[in-house]
Amino acid sequence: MKLSRVLLAIAVLACMVALLRLGIEGWGPLFAWLWTEGGYDEAGALSVLRSAGWFGVVLALLVPFRPLGLLGLALAAWCGAWCAATIWQREPFAALAPAMQATRLAAPLSLGMLCATPRRPGERRVRAAAVLLVGASAATFAAHGVEAFAMHGEFLDFLFLFARELEVSLAEPTARRMLLGIGALDVAVALGALLALRWPRARIALAWMGAWGLATAALRPLAYGSEFYADFLVRLPNACAPLAALALLRARDLQRAEPPVTHASSP
Amino acid sequence: MRFLSLSILMLSSALLAQAPPSGEALLLVPKLEDSETFPPDGLVDQRPAHWRIVWTEDPQRKALMLWDTAALGREHHVRYDVRSRASEGALASYAKQRTSARSGRYTGTELALHWHAVALDELTPNTTYYFVLESDGQRSPEMHFRTAPATPEPIALLSGGDARSDRAQRRAVNRMLAQLIDLRPEVLALAHGGDFVLWGTQLPLWDRWLRDQELVIGASGRVLPILPTRGNHEATGALYDEVFGAPGGAEKNYYATELTPEVLLVTLNTEIAAGGEQSMFLEQVLASRRATRWQIAQYHRPLWPAVKQPATAAPHWLPLFDRYALDLALENDGHALKRTVPIKEGARSERGTTYVGEGGFGVQQRTPDTARWYLQSPGYAHSRHHVWELRFGAQELEVLAWDLQLGKIFDRFALRPRAR
């Protein structure tokens, strides 16, 4: 369970640092919302985002050390505000934002649940955290699968850049077929992750999610340059959430395998 | 004390270096309208409205004429001639007539609006055409536009984008563009860099943009054909293609326009995959027209931004811009006025491409990050509504930034033809 908490703490802190960076620069949908609909001028919107961003970072640092589940809820609300602004912005696939950003919402919530009061694996709150993380990871992967089926231009561009790095020629029809395959794999892995709650062999799906989530998050700074580090950090929950779920499920197994504690009884 | 004096001296030098060049105001800056005076949404009858001319390929001989009416109607015509027939009154006096090729209802249920598109072809290059749009017996005022020349001749082009919000400011900008039409008869067309509306899937927003665009007309009735670019605020939905007649093909929306034998404008789409077929198209166009004296590109999201992060198209297009020595790139989306130093292979180079932008047709302006290396002198970045005027001559391409808050020219620089 300690490993889960560490993974989630990393994910939440990374996400908060990314949102702070986006807020300070005035990038992203929440700035656009504050500026367009919120009645703020540029300086006011930036000030709100900067203050809230720093607050988020401080809370993220506090969560692992303070047994307050509410801190996790507050961080999830902050991520939820970004998610709502993404829907408001109505860019392509915006309607999928709650699913695409599910790991970002679930990571602070489950961290809060795990840190609220130290509990042994198997207890109701821990089990709920595992279910939440698995569900969120599945939602995020399924949504990205749908994006891939819809031939998201940015995804295609990653394939073209990858092919260029390998110095192989990649025609667009081939890239589209590859993206269909990747989308199908994402959806299959999402289903596999849900099965992992009942069937231990399906946990390989969670391990795959961790590796794929890390690779795809790292693609942004690798492809576009180090200034895209926030794009990497904000996607780190896509890797950490399934791995944290995996660690929680493993911990539950170990607890079940432990011999029951027997108490000496008087004759 | 010496340190203080030195600091003040340095600060004042820096401020002077950033100060806009003073000049005479050539455009009248209109007073911002109160929202209560905006025209009502929608159309009520068959009088042709929302007129626009779209250029994509072959602007010497072709033009797509589009307009809207409240109902679908039955008969839609464009009547046109090389002489004005306004004083004669009768529609029959126009030498030519073209019946609507396509009509349809706009996607969306918020308003009952119908579009009509007539493709004019076999036009004569470098010729002024007077036209009237007619729907079910009702007609528009007579307007006119000039086709692009087929011979190397000096022409000018306006460029700008980001008209999506702050309607009062957008209408003021449009009134100033109308003044520019009268002031600059050599301006042929308007290259629009996208973000026409806040939400590209909402018909009432397009209705307002189209209504406001009617203000971009000279006193004599001259209108500028539009070369549209898809922006992120209209990245999805069918309305963009319905409004502009699917420029460059539905949903693809990238195309090359030879404005004269010496001027090539490539319009790209940052809202779809930048690599693959779009990059191949860009490379094929730039490679096959190496001899064209001036090569410029327009697209929405900036590759060298003054405000935001670089567009993800950058690794796909920048190598091509460098390889084929693109002269000028017209960028948008950032909501700031900017000009970069010439850039090649990610560094300042006198043999590089200059990037200007980036979006000042009414949308609120952002505070740019002036510390970025590519915005250092002679580059700059400021917050002000603006339009770019590109004046293509035989010896140089003169680029002017019009400050639409003061009505004067803010910046002027020239590019020389380069060997490719």
Q: Is residue B24 part of a domain?
A: no
In degrees, rounded to 5, the angle at the alpha carbon of residue A54 between the alpha carbons of residues A49 and A59 is 125
Q: Is residue B391 part of a domain?
A: yes
User: Which residue of A25, A96, A156, A176 is the best one to mutate when testing the B interface, meaning the one whose CB has the most B CBs within 10 A?
Assistant: A156
At B197, list the tokens: 């509306």
At B310, list the tokens: 């670089």
B254: domain CATH number is 3.60.21.10
Query: How distant, in Å, are the alpha carbons of A23, A116, A244, B402 from that of A62?
Result: 21, 12, 19, 51
Say if residue B190 is in the same domain as residue B319: yes
Q: Do A92 and B274 touch (CB under 8 A)?
A: no
Q: What is the pLDDT of residues A187-236, one digit of tens each?
A: 999 999 999 999 999 999 999 999 999 999 999 999 999 989 999 999 99
ipTM field: 0.90
**Searching chain A, which residue's CA lies closest to the CA of residue B164?**
A36
B86: domain CATH number is 2.60.40.10
- Other beta carbons within 10 angstroms of residue B87's beta carbon come to 7
Q: Do B364 and A42 touch (CB under 8 A)?
A: yes
Min Cα–Cα distance to chain B from A80, Å: 22
Q: Would you say residue A146 has pLDDT above 70?
A: yes
CA–CA gap between residue B321 and residue B61 (Å, rounded) = 28
pLDDT of residue A121: 56
- Contact status of B372 with chain A (Cβ, < 8 Å): no
CA–CA gap between residue B386 and residue B408 (Å, rounded) = 10
Residue bearing the bigger pLDDT, A115 or B228: B228
pLDDT of residue A119: 54
Q: Is residue A258 part of a domain?
A: no
CA atoms within 13 A on the CB side of A180: 6
Q: What is the pLDDT of residues B294-352, one digit of tens each?
A: 999 999 999 999 999 999 999 999 999 999 999 999 999 999 999 999 999 999 999 99
Say if residue B123 is in the same domain as residue B164: no
- Contact status of B275 with chain A (Cβ, < 8 Å): yes
Q: Is residue A259 part of a domain?
A: no
Q: Would you say residue B292 has pLDDT above 50?
A: yes
**Searching chain B, which residue's CA lies closest to the CA of residue A230?**
B309
**Exposure class string for B185-196: b at 16+ Cβ within 10 A, else e:** eebbbbbbbbbb
Q: How many residues does chain A have?
A: 267
Q: Do A156 and B236 touch (CB under 8 A)?
A: no
- Contact status of A178 with chain B (Cβ, < 8 Å): no
- Contact status of B242 with chain A (Cβ, < 8 Å): no
CA–CA gap between residue A213 and residue A219 (Å, rounded) = 10
Helix, strand, or coil (residue B27): coil
CA–CA gap between residue A160 and residue B320 (Å, rounded) = 15
Say if residue B138 is in the same domain as residue B161: no
Q: Do A160 and B276 touch (CB under 8 A)?
A: yes
Domain that holds residue B209: 155-415
- E-state strands within B299-353: 328-330, 337-339, 343-344, 347-348
Of B245, B249, B251, B214, residue with least CA distance to B101: B245
From chain B, pick out residues whose CB is under 8 angstroms from the CB of A170: 276
Q: Is residue A202 part of a domain?
A: yes
Q: Is residue A267 part of a domain?
A: no
- Using an 8 Å Cβ cutoff, are A247 and A1 in contact? yes
- Contact status of A229 with chain B (Cβ, < 8 Å): no
Q: Would you say residue B15 has pLDDT above 60?
A: no
pLDDT of residue B92: 85
Say if residue B140 is in the same domain as residue B180: no
Structural element, H or E, at residue B50: strand B49-54
Q: Would you say residue A55 has pLDDT above 90?
A: yes
Domain that holds residue A127: 2-252
Average of per-residue pLDDT values in chain B:
93
Q: Would you say residue A69 has pLDDT above 90?
A: no
What's the one-letter identity of residue A211?
A
Say if residue B174 is in the same domain as residue B142: no
pLDDT of residue B48: 97
**Searching chain B, which residue's CA lies closest to the CA of residue A174?**
B276
Q: What is the pLDDT of residues B31-68, one digit of tens each?
A: 999 999 999 999 999 999 999 999 999 999 999 999 99
End-to-end CA distance of chain A: 38
- Contact status of B264 with chain A (Cβ, < 8 Å): no
Say if residue B315 is in the same domain as residue B199: yes
Residue that is written with structure tokens 């549209």 in the block: B228
Q: Do B199 and A90 touch (CB under 8 A)?
A: yes
Q: Would you say residue A254 has pLDDT above 80?
A: no
Q: What is the pLDDT of residues A32-45, one digit of tens each?
A: 999 988 889 999 99
Which of B198, B307, B309 has its CB closest to that of A228?
Answer: B309
User: Total structural domains in chain A?
Assistant: 1
Q: Would you say residue B4 has pLDDT above 50?
A: no
pLDDT of residue B19: 41
- Contact status of A154 with chain B (Cβ, < 8 Å): yes
**Searching chain A, which residue's CA lies closest to the CA of residue B272?**
A153
Q: Do A161 and B309 touch (CB under 8 A)?
A: no
Q: Would you say residue B11 has pLDDT above 50?
A: no
Give B134's strand partners: B77, B139
What are A223-232's contacts with CB under 8 Å, separation 24+?
A223/A157, A223/A158, A223/A161, A223/B312, A223/B315, A224/B309, A224/B310, A224/B312, A224/B314, A224/B315, A225/B310, A227/B309, A227/B310, A228/B309, A229/A21, A230/A17, A230/A18, A230/A21, A230/A22, A231/A18, A232/A18
Q: Do B274 and A153 touch (CB under 8 A)?
A: yes
Pairing status of strand B347-348 against strand B354-357: unpaired
Using pLDDT thresholds of 50, 70 and 90, give the confidence band for residue A117: low
Tell me phi and psi for residue B391, to 5 degrees. Answer: -115, 105
Which of B165, B201, B366 has its CB closest to that of A36?
Answer: B165
Which of B272, B275, B367 has its CB closest to that of A160?
Answer: B275
Of B191, B203, B224, B200, residue with least CA distance to B387: B191
Per-position DSSP letters for B101-140, written without gaps between them? SEEEEPS-SSS--EEEEEEE-SPPTT-EEEEEEEETTEEP
User: Total structural domains in chain B?
Assistant: 2
Helix, strand, or coil (residue A261): coil
- Using an 8 Å Cβ cutoff, are B67 and B135 in contact? yes
Looking at B112, B146, B180, the residue that finishes a domain is B146
**Searching chain A, which residue's CA lies closest to the CA of residue B166?**
A36
In degrees, rounded to 5, the angle at the alpha carbon of residue A227 between the alpha carbons of residues A223 and A233 is 85
CA–CA gap between residue B43 and residue B115 (Å, rounded) = 12
CA–CA gap between residue B225 and residue A220 (Å, rounded) = 38
Q: What is the pLDDT of residues A147-196, one digit of tens each?
A: 999 999 999 999 999 999 999 999 999 999 999 999 999 999 999 999 99
CA–CA gap between residue B269 and residue B286 (Å, rounded) = 16
Q: What is the pLDDT of residues B203-245, one digit of tens each?
A: 999 999 999 999 999 999 999 999 999 999 999 999 999 999 9
Say if residue B140 is in the same domain as residue B161: no
Q: Would you say residue B95 has pLDDT above 60?
A: yes
Q: Is residue A260 part of a domain?
A: no
From chain A, pick out residues whose CB is under 8 angstroms from the CB of B232: 91
Q: Is residue B32 part of a domain?
A: no
Q: Is residue A265 part of a domain?
A: no
- Contact status of B366 with chain A (Cβ, < 8 Å): yes
Residue that is written with structure tokens 């009884």 in the block: A265
Q: What is the pLDDT of residues B243-263, one digit of tens each?
A: 999 999 998 999 999 999 999
Q: Is residue A261 part of a domain?
A: no
CA–CA gap between residue A254 and residue A106 (Å, rounded) = 24
Min Cα–Cα distance to chain A from B73, Å: 33
Say if residue B80 is in the same domain as residue B196: no
Say if residue B109 is in the same domain as residue B173: no
Say if residue B189 is in the same domain as residue B259: yes
Using pLDDT thresholds of 50, 70 and 90, give the confidence band for residue B2: very low
- Using an 8 Å Cβ cutoff, are B90 and B131 in contact? no
From chain B, pick out residues whose CB is under 8 angstroms from the CB of A175: 276
Say if residue B163 is in the same domain as residue B128: no
From chain A, pick out residues whose CB is under 8 angstroms from the CB of B301: none
Q: Do B364 and A35 touch (CB under 8 A)?
A: yes
Q: Is residue A196 part of a domain?
A: yes
Looking at B146, B175, B200, the residue that finishes a domain is B146
If you compute the radius of gyration of chain A from its CA atoms, what whole number of angstroms results? 20
Min Cα–Cα distance to chain A from B274, Å: 6
Which of B271, B315, B364 has its CB closest to that of A153?
Answer: B271
- Contact status of B201 with chain A (Cβ, < 8 Å): yes
pLDDT of residue B5: 46
Looking at B125, B146, B167, the residue that finishes a domain is B146
Q: Is residue B2 part of a domain?
A: no
Say if residue B139 is in the same domain as residue B160: no
